[in-house]
Amino acid sequence: MRLLVVEDDRTISEPLCVGLRREGFEVDLVTTGSDALAAEPADLVLLDLGLPDLDGRAVCQALRERSAVPIIVVTARADEIDRVLLLESGADDYVVKPFGFRELVARIRAVLRRTTASVPAEDDHLRIWGELRIDVRTRRVTQGGEAVALTPKEFDLLALLAHDPGAVVTRERIVTEVWDEHWFGSTKTVDVHVASLRRKLGADVVETVRGVGFRLGGRGDAGR
């Protein structure tokens, strides 16, 4: 696996890259947002927010718009609002400085497992809900014939809801299956990703069942 580390503080980046290489990763290091956007594709991006040229969230958004590459943001901002904004910007996870190296490696491996894991096989890999077509084999989504770009976890969340269209999926099951049972982040992560799916697919596509969870909604029955 090849990692792209985006960090301008050499006191952090140099020992970090050494440690990651010892863990078996190939590592490319860049120090600016511009270089991050110009870098060769990687399997995961470790992105510091405090870059000298561009705002880290803007870099995260730009990377997400053109790729589904997993992104772990490194931030010194610990308040909840910033964490939600980071996830809305397309980050898959975040760590707050100062962080332990072992924790970071565990998060990297967890994100890679989540984003590269295959969706459970079905006899029919194509799920149709109204104008939505969800191909769990190729991990592609179209709506009304137009391709929809989703982040890895947005796709996993949509595929989970589409596994039994119309059925309510609890928050606990979503966290366990889309993230994992050892997820350390805020439970607001689910709401952030649901909100993102609604922006991309339509406000009525994912319905909230208050106090329970979420389900596919809208006019899906017409397409079944």
The reply to whether 40 falls in a domain is yes
Residue 224 has pLDDT above 50, yes or no: no
pLDDT at 19 over 90: yes
Is 121 inside a domain boundary? no
Whether 84 and 145 map to the same domain: the answer is no
Q: What's the CATH code of the domain at 143?
A: 1.10.10.10
Regarding predicted confidence, which is higher, 138 or 208? 208
> Would residue 134 count as lying in a domain?
yes
Q: What's the number of domains the chain is made of?
A: 2
pLDDT surpassing 70 at residue 23:
yes
Among 108-122, 144-158, 185-199, the minimum mean pLDDT is found in 108-122
Is the domain of 104 the same as that of 36? yes
- The pLDDT score that the predictor gives to residue 219 is 52
Rounded Cα gap, residues 99 and 58, in angstroms? 23
Which of 81, 116, 151 finishes a domain?
116
Q: Is the pLDDT reported for residue 32 higher than 90?
A: yes
22: domain CATH number is 3.40.50.2300
- Tell me the residue range of the domain where 148 lies: 126-223
> Do 58 and 8 lie in a common domain?
yes
